[in-house]
């Protein structure tokens, strides 16, 4: 079973393909467990490419819903084919989940789809083990903004540099970065130390 995973803010989109039965449900269960271990609490499960769901597949989805019950997180299901929807109806699972026709609909109005740049930078800093400090009563902010910016870039997150400068403490010597020039830029000047 192939399982696509995409991150949309705080939401993890999980899209399994094929049959979700006793032979394959363990793979989905492992993906969902691992995501929960690293703090994921909001899920969109896209079942558009799932052709069959057995009781074992239903059990995995039920376990996820129970784990996130009580406002701890959220589960949205989307893309159910007519046959998969019928299984959900017969099992009484239709009322247990928020159902959407497709992933766009499930993500479009999700309250956790977007994440602020500061929250993502804090997550990146935490993953990197960067020290944190209180800055003028604000929430914890990363001290090592260079590594945090690099991590945010790797995560595909746009960083608000104004927010970064106002909320961060510079550690080490100040470094000025010159804008990059291209080989065709005739006005490019040599910097000291260039050979």
Of all residues in the chain, the percent with pLDDT exceeding 70 is 59
What band does 150 get if pLDDT is binned at 50, 70 and 90? low
Q: What is the largest CA-CA distance in the chain?
A: 74
Q: Give me the domains of the chain, ranges plus CATH numbers.
A: 3-108 (3.30.750.24), 117-167 (no CATH)
DSSP H or E stretch at residue 19: strand 18-20
Q: Please state, in angstroms and as integers, the Cα–Cα distance from residue 139 to each residue in 74, 87, 118, 134, 142, following that order.
A: 25, 46, 10, 6, 10
What band does 168 get if pLDDT is binned at 50, 70 and 90? very low
This prediction has a pTM of 0.60
Q: Please state, in angstroms and as integers, the Cα–Cα distance from residue 43 to each residue in 2, 61, 62, 139, 183, following that order.
A: 17, 11, 13, 26, 45
pLDDT digits (tens, 9 = 90+) for 99-108: 999 999 999 9
Please indicate whether residue 155 or residue 78 has the higher confidence score (pLDDT).
78
């Amino acid at each position: 079973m192939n399982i696509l995973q995409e991150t949309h803010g705080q939401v993890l989109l999980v899209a399994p393909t094929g049959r979700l039965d006793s032979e394959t449900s363990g793979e989905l269960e492992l993906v969902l467990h691992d995501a929960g271990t690293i703090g994921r609490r909001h899920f969109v499960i896209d079942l558009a490419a799932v052709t069959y769901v057995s009781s074992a597949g239903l059990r995995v989805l039920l376990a996820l819903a129970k784990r996130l019950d009580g406002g701890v997180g959220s589960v949205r299901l989307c893309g159910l084919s007519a046959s998969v929807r019928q299984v959900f109806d017969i099992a009484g699972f239709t009322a247990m989940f928020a159902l959407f026709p497709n992933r766009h609909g499930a993500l479009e109005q999700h309250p956790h789809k977007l994440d602020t740049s500061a929250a993502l930078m804090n997550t990146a800093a935490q993953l990197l083990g960067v020290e944190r400090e209180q800055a003028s009563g604000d929430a914890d902010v990363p001290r090592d903004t260079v590594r945090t910016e690099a991590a945010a870039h790797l995560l595909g997150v746009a960083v608000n540099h104004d927010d970064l400068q106002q909320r961060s403490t510079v550690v080490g010597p100040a470094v000025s970065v010159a804008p990059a020039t291209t080989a065709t830029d005739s006005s490019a000047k040599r910097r000291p130390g260039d050979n």
